[in-house]
Amino acid sequence: MSRQDLMLPSDSSQKPSRRKFIQGASALAIAYSPTSRALNSKGRPGIGKLFAYVGTDTSAIDGKANGNGIYLFEMDSSSGRLSLVKLAAEARNPSCLCLDPSERYLYTVNEISDFEGKNGSVSAYAVDPSNGDLRLLNTISSQGAGPAYLSVDASGKYVFVANYGDGSIAVFPVLSGGSLGAATYTHRDKDHVGSQKATSAPPGSFAISGHDAPHAHMIGADPGNRFVLQTDLGQDRIYIYRFDKHTGKLLPAASSPFVSLPSGDGPRHFAFHPNGRWLYSIQEEASTVVFFHFNPETGSMAAQQTISTLPNGFAGTSFGSGIRVSPDGRALYAANRLHNTIVVFSIGSSGKLKQLGETPTLGDYPCQFNIDPSGTFLYACNQRSDQITSFRIDKRTGLLNFTGQYTPVGTPTCIIFTT
């Protein structure tokens, strides 16, 4: 479900409640680790350590939010352990984070609907490579309500934003020094809304959300940086735009402006295979993954397979959320909320998926997860149980093994890593 509580109909006019920053919140109660700030002679984190940033909910429509902003951790690349450094930035609902290709700048949506009227906002930060500190550069309107996702193009010159609340998207130029400029492109969809009940949902499902209006959920460039794709959960569509890298404008792809998913299924996020020709989309209400052939020359997409993220015989309600392809391209992972699992698929020579099984996240409501740059560990952000759990990836099979490590953090929504 997208930024709303179970069984509550989506309402793009409803504003998330504001909450005061509370000192000593659950995430800040993590014991300080003496090793977490150890630096080598060059001022970089100690050998075998990477920085990780965790975004959190600081206010929520369902009333549950225990985060205070963006948290900085160090990750031990041998054990996978996350050690809290500090709260790197106080921010309102920084629910999605991304780094530019140089890793000098970090960008976040602020998933709100009261910035300069009824909009959300986007913030840019400078990253100190020696200690991971963040310095706010600027905050601007996201040009729509409730932004839920953002990404940076491969050149690092543009930031794409999906505003879930009002179904709009926007493109922002990255200015000298990393701050964001006025939007080069905005677009808001209307009408063509799918059914409340998902066509492909399991028996007995009440996974109903977001089909009251268009709701842009994810936006990002293809690996060739020639096209930009955008999911609209409410319209059950994936839009395909040709990306003008000189002007920052988006034009409907000549081959087809969008592909449609079954009515009510709710496409949420997508992931490209490293070959740039296979794309996988997870549907929120249907709990399915659809495999597409993607043409990097024309932007056209053709569905090849639909497969459930839930075990055979499952009945009831669950919501699909995150989706990732392993760095080696051999496995695909997808998250189930309420079922609270990460499902593991092998990727065959044709790109088709075979379900290998699922691993409990050992927490509640994994709204997102990520894989570290080496492809060794997977981290699940268990939003409702206020913790991140980590799993070691078996490089031979792709299966997951719990490391035994729980990292407490209030209402985690995403985690990203430096390289």
Q: Which amino acid is it at 248?
A: G
For the structural domain made of 26-31+44-417, what CATH number should be given? 2.130.10.10
Over the Cα atoms of the chain, what is R_g?
20
113-141 pLDDT tens trace = 999 999 999 999 999 999 999 999 999 99
* 375: its two tokens: 């492809």
Quote the tokens at residue 74. Answer: 């160090």
Q: What is the dihedral of CA 344, 349, 351, 357, to 10 degrees?
A: -10
pLDDT digits 0-9 by tens, 158-193: 999 999 999 999 999 999 999 999 999 999 988 899
Per-residue pLDDT, 2: 44
Domain positions in the chain: 26-31+44-417
Give the pLDDT confidence of 92-118 residue by residue, as tens digits.
999 999 999 999 999 999 999 999 999
Reported confidence tier of residue 209, pLDDT bands at 50, 70, 90: confident
Mean pLDDT of the chain: 90
pTM for the complete prediction? 0.90
